[in-house]
Amino acid sequence: MRIGILAHSFSSAFEIYRVVPGHDAFIILSPSPHRSARTGHLANIARFVLATLKGFKPLQLFTTGRLIFLRGPLHDPNSVDTLKKLSLDVGLHKAGVIYRNVTIDAFRLGILNHHIGILPAYRGRSVVEWSILQGDPVGVTVFFIDTGIDTGARILFSEEVDISGCRSVTEAKQYLFSLDKVFFPRALALLTDSDQAFQLNDGSGRRYFVMSKLFTGVVEQLLKQNNDCGSA
């Protein structure tokens, strides 16, 4: 399967690249909307060199044309043209953007997102905090995005995750985000099964927004008594 890992940061994309060795994978870096393309690319070159010095051997990415720097955003016509020429089957979302249809449609199957919430019940922002506050399970959903906020209809799987060992909201969210290195490979394995059925993200849940500091403090209190994150 041909995969495009979409990111602004080489470091975050390379972490995923290292766990999908059985696939024909490309790292595709687009400029962050919060900095100039030149600054972003220079920062990524520095990250690339640092990874090389640490012995991770990313040089083959460069020599085989699997490290791609886009000059414009992912919806830019030149960027879309580059994606189409790669004939990619699926994208893996590691970029801080909401995708447009022209980008999503450049992939045969679409773009997968690793969402740290259980869909369809919890979409949007601060879903970990809202789940804890309301006494609902915390977990991860891997699904194909659309142009909305966690509204993509095709869910590959949702899985509850035990965060009882996390001592803070920040630690819990970092732990859940780190599981993309586990769940993306699992999702790709499922997609190789021609009989794979999708769950439906039917929109029955609600969209959540950033939790207030007052409520976040309550959630923090609920987590204080726990031990090291991920140890359970």
- Dump pLDDT digits (tens) for 88-143: 999 999 999 999 999 999 999 999 999 999 999 999 999 999 999 999 999 999 99
**Residue 229 clears pLDDT 90, i.e. is over it:** no
pLDDT > 90 in the chain, percent: 77
- The label of the residue with tokens 């919060």 reads 34
**Residue 227 clears pLDDT 70, i.e. is over it:** no
Q: Round the average pLDDT of the chain to a whole number and report it.
A: 92
Question: For the residues 18-30, what does the mean pLDDT come to?
Answer: 94
pLDDT at 169: 95
The torsion angle over the Cα atoms of residues 28, 12, 16 and 111, rounded to 10 degrees, is -50
pLDDT bucket at 61, cuts 50 / 70 / 90 = confident
CB 228 within 8 A of CB 171: no
Which is it for the CA torsion 119, 124, 125, 126, positive or negative?
Answer: negative
* Residue 89 backbone zone (phi > 0: left; psi -120 to 50: alpha; other: beta): alpha
Superfamily for domain range 116-232: Formyl transferase, N-terminal domain (3.40.50.170)
pLDDT at 55: 74
pLDDT at 116: 98
B/e letters for 23-48, b = 16+ CB within 10 Å, e = fewer, are bebbbbbbbbeeeebeebbebbeebb
Which is it for the CA torsion 217, 223, 225, 230, positive or negative?
Answer: negative
| Distance between CA atoms of residues 163 and 160, nearest Å | 9
pLDDT at 35: 80
- Report which secondary-structure segment, H or E, holds 29: strand 24-29
pLDDT at 62: 78
